[in-house]
């Protein structure tokens, strides 16, 4: 995905604002409350930051401090987005606190790239019944979908599918295999 520097800067500064927003809201907040908080930051933070980054230093040979910081944050965001699998506890569809920064980075990426599509594949471990697990996998995918939308992605970019327990990432009947199989995978298309 190619982007102009100014768009990148916009994206990274925006995400920097969002990440700051997240850490200040704390980890044990409800998903909904957390989401609306972030959405508010998105609304009033976006255009201001953009104005600052636009126009000036794109052709200059020396990066300003702001630009250096922005580039660093950009790299951090990209590193975050390397993570595309999110794990869940048994029989739950709650997004774990440590997944939130990464999902916010994905949401921002989707917001900045409106033509980017993503498929959310929900999975369950082998325990329990197949049909219930199919519904559980869907609920996990839906939870991630809601989180991405609240954080800036649009509904039209996201498709969800549940495989239930049919496509384990790891074979075997151990706690460790089960933990790796209870997941949602983001597949960018």
Q: Which is nearer to other proteins, 8 or 182 (CB)?
A: 182
Query: Residue 182 CB, nearest distance to other proteins (Å)?
Result: 15
Task: Give the Cα separation of 135 and 177 in Å (integer).
Answer: 20
Task: Give the Cα separation of 43 and 61 in Å (integer).
Answer: 32
Can you spell out the DSSP letters for 146-164? HHHHHTT--GGGEEEEEEE
Q: Which is nearer to other proteins, 111 or 124 (CB)?
A: 124
Query: Residue 102 CB, nearest distance to other proteins (Å)?
Result: 25
Q: Which is nearer to other proteins, 54 or 166 (CB)?
A: 166
If one counts every other C-beta atom within 10 angstroms of the C-beta of residue 58, the result is 12
Query: Residue 170 CB, nearest distance to other proteins (Å)?
Result: 12
Closest residue by Cα to residue 137 from 166, 169, 162, 167: 162
Task: Give the Cα separation of 181 and 90 in Å (integer).
Answer: 10
Residues that bind other proteins (CB under 8 A): 91, 126-132, 134-136, 138-139, 142, 160-164, 166-167, 173
Query: Residue 120 CB, nearest distance to other proteins (Å)?
Result: 12
Q: Which is nearer to other proteins, 14 or 141 (CB)?
A: 141
């Amino acid at each position: 995905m190619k982007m102009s520097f100014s768009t990148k800067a916009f994206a990274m500064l925006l995400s920097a604002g969002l990440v700051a927003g997240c850490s200040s809201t704390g980890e044990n907040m409800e998903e909904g409350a957390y989401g609306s908080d972030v959405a508010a930051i998105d609304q009033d933070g976006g255009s201001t930051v953009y104005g600052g980054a636009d126009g000036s230093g794109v052709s200059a040979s020396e990066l300003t401090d702001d630009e250096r910081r922005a580039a660093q944050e950009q790299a951090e965001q990209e590193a975050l987005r390397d993570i595309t699998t999110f794990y869940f506890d048994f029989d739950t569809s709650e997004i774990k606190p440590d997944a939130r920064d990464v999902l916010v980075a994905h949401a921002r990426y989707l917001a900045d790239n409106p033509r980017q599509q993503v498929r959310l594949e929900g999975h369950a471990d082998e325990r329990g019944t197949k049909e219930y697990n199919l519904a559980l996998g869907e609920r996990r995918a839906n939870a991630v979908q809601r989180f991405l939308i609240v954080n800036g992605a649009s509904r039209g970019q996201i498709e969800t599918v549940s495989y239930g327990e049919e496509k384990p990432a790891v074979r075997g009947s151990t706690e460790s295999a089960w933990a790796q199989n209870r997941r949602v995978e983001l597949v960018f298309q």
